[in-house]
Amino acid sequence: MIIWGSRGREHLVGHGNFHCPACQRPSSYSLKRVSRYFTLYFIPLFQTSTLGEYVTCDSCGSAFEPQVLSMAQATESEKRQPWQCPT
Protein backbone atom coordinates (compact mmCIF):
# COMPACT_ATOMS: atom_id res chain seq x y z
CA MET A 1 0.00 0.00 0.00
CA ILE A 2 1.29 3.46 -0.97
CA ILE A 3 0.44 6.36 1.33
CA TRP A 4 0.49 9.79 -0.33
CA GLY A 5 -1.01 13.19 0.38
CA SER A 6 -0.15 16.83 0.88
CA ARG A 7 0.52 19.25 3.70
CA GLY A 8 1.27 22.92 4.24
CA ARG A 9 4.63 24.21 5.43
CA GLU A 10 5.87 27.65 6.49
CA HIS A 11 9.18 29.13 5.33
CA LEU A 12 10.84 32.30 6.56
CA VAL A 13 11.21 34.62 3.55
CA GLY A 14 12.55 37.75 5.21
CA HIS A 15 12.72 39.89 8.30
CA GLY A 16 13.23 43.51 9.23
CA ASN A 17 11.72 46.40 11.16
CA PHE A 18 8.29 48.03 10.80
CA HIS A 19 5.67 49.93 12.77
CA CYS A 20 3.20 47.34 14.13
CA PRO A 21 -0.46 48.42 13.83
CA ALA A 22 -1.48 46.14 16.72
CA CYS A 23 1.02 47.13 19.43
CA GLN A 24 1.53 50.67 17.98
CA ARG A 25 5.32 50.70 18.24
CA PRO A 26 8.39 50.02 16.11
CA SER A 27 9.17 46.31 16.14
CA SER A 28 10.89 43.58 14.16
CA TYR A 29 8.85 41.37 11.82
CA SER A 30 9.10 38.00 10.09
CA LEU A 31 7.75 37.53 6.55
CA LYS A 32 6.60 33.93 6.05
CA ARG A 33 5.37 32.00 3.01
CA VAL A 34 3.00 29.03 3.29
CA SER A 35 3.39 26.38 0.59
CA ARG A 36 1.70 23.05 -0.09
CA TYR A 37 3.96 20.00 -0.51
CA PHE A 38 3.28 16.56 -2.00
CA THR A 39 4.05 13.86 0.57
CA LEU A 40 4.87 10.18 0.16
CA TYR A 41 4.80 8.14 3.37
CA PHE A 42 4.41 11.46 5.25
CA ILE A 43 7.70 12.79 3.83
CA PRO A 44 7.37 16.11 1.94
CA LEU A 45 8.96 15.64 -1.49
CA PHE A 46 8.24 18.73 -3.60
CA GLN A 47 6.25 21.96 -3.54
CA THR A 48 2.97 21.86 -5.45
CA SER A 49 1.64 25.38 -4.81
CA THR A 50 2.11 28.57 -2.82
CA LEU A 51 -0.84 29.27 -0.53
CA GLY A 52 0.13 32.78 0.60
CA GLU A 53 2.39 35.07 2.60
CA TYR A 54 1.94 36.89 5.87
CA VAL A 55 3.86 39.13 8.27
CA THR A 56 4.10 38.48 12.00
CA CYS A 57 5.17 41.01 14.62
CA ASP A 58 7.95 39.54 16.76
CA SER A 59 6.82 41.59 19.80
CA CYS A 60 3.08 40.88 20.02
CA GLY A 61 2.74 37.92 17.61
CA SER A 62 -0.02 39.53 15.50
CA ALA A 63 -0.29 38.47 11.84
CA PHE A 64 -0.89 40.86 8.92
CA GLU A 65 -1.07 40.92 5.13
CA PRO A 66 2.32 41.74 3.48
CA GLN A 67 0.92 45.14 2.37
CA VAL A 68 1.32 46.35 5.97
CA LEU A 69 5.05 46.77 5.27
CA SER A 70 4.48 49.35 2.52
CA MET A 71 1.76 51.13 4.53
CA ALA A 72 4.01 51.31 7.56
CA GLN A 73 6.80 52.87 5.50
CA ALA A 74 4.41 55.48 4.09
CA THR A 75 3.10 56.30 7.56
CA GLU A 76 6.61 56.71 8.96
CA SER A 77 7.64 59.00 6.08
CA GLU A 78 4.50 61.11 6.58
CA LYS A 79 5.45 61.60 10.24
CA ARG A 80 8.83 63.04 9.24
CA GLN A 81 7.42 65.75 6.97
CA PRO A 82 7.08 69.20 8.53
CA TRP A 83 3.58 70.50 9.15
CA GLN A 84 2.32 73.15 6.73
CA CYS A 85 -0.57 75.48 7.41
CA PRO A 86 -3.46 74.88 4.97
CA THR A 87 -4.45 78.05 3.14
Spatial distance between the Cα atoms of 62 and 20, rounded to a whole number of angstroms:
9
Check residue 70 and give its pLDDT: 86
The pLDDT score that the predictor gives to residue 24 is 86
- Distance between CA 64 and CA 51 in Å, rounded? 15
Q: How does pLDDT run across 31-70, given as a tens digit for each residue?
A: 999 999 999 999 999 999 999 999 999 999 999 999 998 8
Q: What is the pLDDT of residue 16?
A: 94
pTM of the model: 0.71
55 contacts 65 by C-beta, under 8 angstroms = yes
